[in-house]
Chain A
Amino acid sequence: MNEPLLRIRGLHKRYGSRTVLRSVDLDVAEHEVVCLIGGSGSGKSTLLRCVDLLDVVDDGTVHLGGTELTDPRLDADVARRRIGVVFQAYNLFPHLSVLDNITLAPRIVHGVPRRQAEETARGLLARLGLADKERDHPDRLSGGQQQRAAIARALATEPELLLLDEITSALDPELVGEVLDVVADLKQRGMTILMATHEMGFARQVADRVCFLEDGVIREEGTAEQVLTDPRHPSTRRFLSRVLDRR
């Protein structure tokens, strides 16, 4: 395997006196889907925020395609343009229509002409089953529709890497499927994805690799099949039995 698209080495992150991530090493190759699993507070979301520079790391490095993102001399705004993020709470812009939500970044960050940006956005909306929603404002959409619109927004800038932060956790159970179908489709198309998730079944279905985090440490890492059905680390086993028992 040649140079991974995303390379994380020795990543440390503290909030005040609390250490959230401890020397995390993680690679994500191009076209690979990596799932982060673990209990709440295990550091999954923080890891994603550090990759997108929404949080400043306390030690370690993050490289994206050979560029060190953690270099303070690097313009964070430019670095972020290569990464798409979808949040748990959608965070769509409530004052803009779905179409404007999606075209905002292409237009004002990448300088794409409005007509062209809208054409691309319509293509994305059609693909995600939202073709008839482009004029609606986010508060007119269901949770699943909002989350799909948020995915469309993240894809509109054609990112090299997509970060998904528990994107189904805020959804009613019957809406989870429609969002996960979109993610499965993205994998089919070769998108590189790093995602935090609570959906173990889904992780097994789409993930090339699964990492189990606990207390800011990657306890176990391997193929989805191996980690989820035959976990080696006792804490992975404990976590999985807790999660799967609840079903």
Chain B
Amino acid sequence: MEHGTTEPGTAGPENQAVPDRPTPTPAPGTPAPGAPSSGAPAPVAPATGAAEEEHRPSPREQERERFRRSRRRRDTWIAALSTLAFLGLLAAAAVASPGWDRVHGLFLDAGEFRAALPEILQGFWLNVRMFLVAEALILVLGLAVALVRVTRAPGLQPLRLAATVYVDVFRGVPTLLLVFLVGFGLPALRLQGTPSQPWVLGVIALVLSYTAYVAEVLRAGLESVHPAQRNAARALGLSGSQTLRHVVLPQAVRNVLPPLLNDFIALQKDTALVAVLGPLEALRVAQIKADYDFNYTPYLGAALLFIAVTVPLTRVADRLQRRAAQRTRAEAAR
């Protein structure tokens, strides 16, 4: 039974308090010169119970640590300098290009930027609201579709079929096309109670498209929970639905949290597709501004706003992904 890196001492029968022994793991890519085989007195902590006070690193270990530190400093410098050189090269290439003056004036006009930003920001607030409403609906509907697809109740056969067809169709249609179809098609039906505000129609289209993706992610999560977990729950007397709610679903969501977050990020960006229906969201506002002054700097402003939201979300997703990978490794090592 191994626990990877997290906790020392749990592998013993009972946790005999084994203090952390500084295990000489060389830093990645650090060829400690002649480390293990040199004739220097081996600094192995005595394993006998009584003499287990604070371990003091031997001179050999101190020297190794100094070497590793200088290596790390050198690596940091190399990374920083190469990044700077690369960015400088890119900037130089852009500035040296024949159309640079024109691009600079059309896309990087500070005055335009300042003038347009407040209204774009106001438009962006609509993007955020559309995102929040759509996301809530998508999670609920996506879970429902996923559950329908994994259950085996005979009475749900028609629903199961419908869910399968739904997922196949709506994952296959480009989201922009769906925005057009719903945005212009739904009002044309002239049904009682059909919404007419463009942003609502846009949200409906996004929900239809993303629910199909999220349902598939959640279904994969539900299927990733080991059958033994179900057996253990059933053996305790939990009913099928209790097993699902208390044992399977929490683990399923935990397993697919990173891909789920990736879909959120994509959705946040895709709220801009609703611009084609005309509501005053960030992209639409930027477009109006750009057309008005024949200057494209407002587009840059809208782009920066989207980045400001998606980059932190991406970092969170990355971290979750790493944690999930670590957990999987820890579980596999058992």
Contact status B236-A89, CB under 8 Å: no
B residues 1-43 in Cβ contact with A at 8 Å:
1, 3, 6-7, 10-14
Query: Interface segment, B133-141, B227-235, B273-281?
Result: B227-235
Given contacts A139-B3, A142-B1, A174-B13, contact A91 B238 (CB under 8 A): no
Q: Which of the 9-residue segments B54-62, B85-93, B108-116, B246-254 touches chain A?
A: B246-254
Question: Is B154 part of the binding interface, using a Cβ–Cβ cutoff of 8 Å?
Answer: no
B330 contacts partner chain A, Cβ-Cβ < 8 Å: yes
Residues in B with CB closer than 8 Å to A141 are 10
Given that A140-B10, A141-B10 are known contacts, is A80 also in contact with B251, CB under 8 Å in the complex? no
Does B223 reach chain A (CB closer than 8 Å)? no
Size bracket, chain A contacts:
35 or more
Known: A91-B229, A142-B10, A143-B1. A104 touches B246 (CB 8 A): yes
A-B contact count (CB 8 A): 84
Q: How far is the CB of A155 from chain B (nearest CB, A)?
A: 11
Contacts of B334 in A (CB 8 A): 139, 143
- B236→A140 contact, CB < 8 A: no
A91 to B334, CA, bound (A): 13
Q: Among residues 149 to 199 in chain A, which have CB atoms less than 8 Å away from a CB atom of chain B?
A: 153-154, 157, 172, 174-175, 178
Please give the residue numbers on chain A whose beta carbons come within 8 Å of chain B beta carbons, in ascending order.
52, 54, 76-78, 80-81, 83-85, 87, 89, 91-95, 104-105, 108-110, 129, 139-144, 153-154, 157, 172, 174-175, 178
Distance of A210 from chain B, by nearest CB (Å):
24
Q: Which residues of chain A are within 8 angstroms of B246 by Cβ–Cβ distance?
A: 104, 108
Give A153 to B12 CA distance when docked, in angstroms.
22
Q: Do the beta carbons of A93 and B229 come within 8 Å of each other? A: yes
Whether B10 pairs with A77 at a CB distance below 8 angstroms is: no
Of all chain B residues, the one with the shortest Cβ separation from A172 is: B1
- Residues on B with C-beta less than 8 A from A142 are 1, 10-13
Cβ of B254: which chain A residues have Cβ within 8 Å of it? 95
How far is A140 from B1 in the complex, measured between Cα atoms in Å? Answer: 11
In the complex, are the beta carbons of B7 and A140 less than 8 A apart? Answer: yes
> What separation, in Å, do the CA atoms of A172 and B1 have in the docked complex?
8
Complex contact B232–A91 (CB within 8 A): yes
Chain B residues within 8 Å of A54, by CB: 231, 234-235
Measured between C-beta atoms, what is the minimum distance from B27 to chain A in Å? 27
Output the least CB separation between B333 and chain A (Å).
10
Structural contact, B236 and A157, CB atoms closer than 8 A: yes
Contact of A109 with B237 in the complex, beta carbons under 8 Å: yes
- Closest chain A residue, CB of each to CB of B6: A140
